Amino acid sequence: MLHSTLIPLLATLVLLAPAIHAAPSGTVADAVEQILQRKSLGGAAVSVAISDADSGERLYSRDIDSPRVPASNLKLLTTAAAITQLGPDYHFVTRLLSTSRPDRDGVLPGDLVLVGGGDPCLREDALAEQGVRDPSMLIAELLRSRGVTRIDGALVLDDGFLDREWVSPQWDPGDLHSEFAAPVSALSLHGNTLEISLDGRAGGSAPLARVRTEAEGYTLRNEIKWSGKKRTFVVGALRPDDGGVVRLTGRMSRDVEESSIRVPVLDGALLFGRCLRTQLTALGIPLRGGVQREAGAARSLADAAELVRFESPLALAAVLANKESDNSISDHLFKVMGAELFQDGSFEGGARAVERFLRDVVQTRTDGLALYDGSGLARANTVTARQMVDTLVAMNTAPPPVRDLFLRTLPVSGLDGSLKDRLVQPPYLGAVRAKTGYIHGVSSLSGYVRAESGRILAFSILINDVPPESSNQLMKDIQDDICRDLVERW
């Protein structure tokens, strides 16, 4: 059995310092209201909730029960629900099964069944600390180490753990060609994307382009035009069509050195199967029966022999989901909760799991809650500031294994993740652990503040209907100034 290890996490839980309550100077309401009078808001809809993170005492409320689009703040609810309900020690499992072990010549006479468990971390960036460049190569090497030299049957893809509605119906169709809107499937590899290499220095009628991902079945239609301007790289790609053809468009100059872009595939399980077959071939292990798909194939195996088992910890996924605001990982967590809790590995199952967490664990109102994914990409998602802050209080007071993992997933002001370049000066440096969120017209920040007194505050700032003339940076300035006041005031 091979266990992937956790990526390095910040060991110091700055939010767990003992609270030394000091009398506030003035009122937080006056300070927040003054910040929210800025013209840059321009009539935007704003909800703000601030509570003591230990007692739950509400310190400030503004429209906390109004449904707001959360953008990536939704990942807070997804990860909190997953850590609590799946457990901080949960592992995703990917297996290779067969009806028998290889014979003395290393031959498997029957099929090899690849069983997916919804692991979103079979990616080079997630496993880089372990030196894994290509997880499919690692799995193929593990199979070879079991003595397999030939497979007379097929590679059967069992993706039945999750459903086959791979993208949410509520995602903008224009987003579906972007890496952040990759399909969500039980068998997931490379984030369910293809890496495409582009090089302007090779000359020719178009820039040199190739599929860097080692997978059969994908080709490129290169429609990129040369640009006469230096250092131009405005390139896009459309998802593979049914024939596996990826269309490349845009403009690029001849002085651009080798660069890469990623484009989502249509079918993550098929990508996994193609990559694994490619690696098996590279290792000299012929696969005579090709690649097939059968949801539930593992259940039909009598006395199945487990040849390879790869496990990844939930903790790794949760950290990447929040620190890096990773949509793919968050949406896999969402569906996996539905599969584990209700045998419903769908977006609907994930929504049911998060709603149950809010109702039964957080014990907050669920009025105004609408969930269509776990990442916040769908504009139809709505939450309330009450639900956000009540969840933060519940996680801060949860048993230590749950609380500590959740806190470690959050970006830290001035230090890492999406807050690395915000609130970088003392006393704000390291004093805020929070999740950012942005889609067009929406800006959000929710998390914890450690005040100078040591008191821990939970807060949620949800801004919707941001006017076109106001930038997201102006919204960030408002959020940061509220955090600064909380650090200094208590």
pLDDT tens, residue by residue, 6-34: 333 333 344 433 333 343 456 889 999 99
pLDDT on residue 198: 97
Alpha helices, DSSP H, located in 249-344: 268-282, 314-323, 327-342
pLDDT on residue 18: 34
336, 118 in Cβ contact below 8 A?
yes
Is CATH 3.90.190.20 what the domain over 2-88+316-489 is classified as, yes or no?
no
* Strand pairing report for 2-3 and 305-313: parallel
If you average pLDDT over every residue of the chain, what do you get? 94
**R_g of the chain, CA atoms, integer Å:** 24
pLDDT on residue 311: 97
Residue 245 has pLDDT above 80, yes or no: yes
The CATH number that domain 91-165+268-313 falls under is 3.50.80.20
With pLDDT > 90 as the criterion, what percentage of the chain qualifies? 91
pLDDT on residue 202: 82
Residue 177 has pLDDT above 60, yes or no: yes
pLDDT range class, residue 299, cuts 50, 70, 90: very high
pLDDT range class, residue 2, cuts 50, 70, 90: very low
pLDDT on residue 10: 36
d(CA 381, CA 331): 13
Q: Give the count of alpha carbons within 13 A of 20, CB side only.
A: 4
pLDDT on residue 26: 61
Mean pLDDT of 470-487: 97
pLDDT on residue 22: 41
Q: In 3-state terms, what secondary structure has residue 387? A: helix
pLDDT on residue 1: 36
pLDDT on residue 313: 98
pLDDT range class, residue 203, cuts 50, 70, 90: confident
pLDDT on residue 302: 80
Residue 115 has pLDDT above 60, yes or no: yes
Is the dihedral angle over the CA atoms 74, 80, 81, 82 positive or is it negative?
positive
Residue 180 has pLDDT above 70, yes or no: yes
Q: In 3-state terms, what secondary structure has residue 279? A: helix
CATH 3.50.80.20 domain extents, the chain: 91-165+268-313
Mean pLDDT of 220-224: 97
Helix axes 135-145, 268-282, angle to 10 degrees: 50
CATH 3.40.710.10 domain extents, the chain: 2-88+316-489
Its pTM stands at: 0.93
Mean pLDDT of 328-335: 98
Mean pLDDT of 93-103: 95
Mean pLDDT of 61-88: 98
In this predicted model, what pLDDT tens digit does every residue of 364-413 receive, in sequence order? 999 999 999 999 999 999 999 999 999 999 999 999 999 999 999 999 99
Residue 451 has pLDDT above 50, yes or no: yes
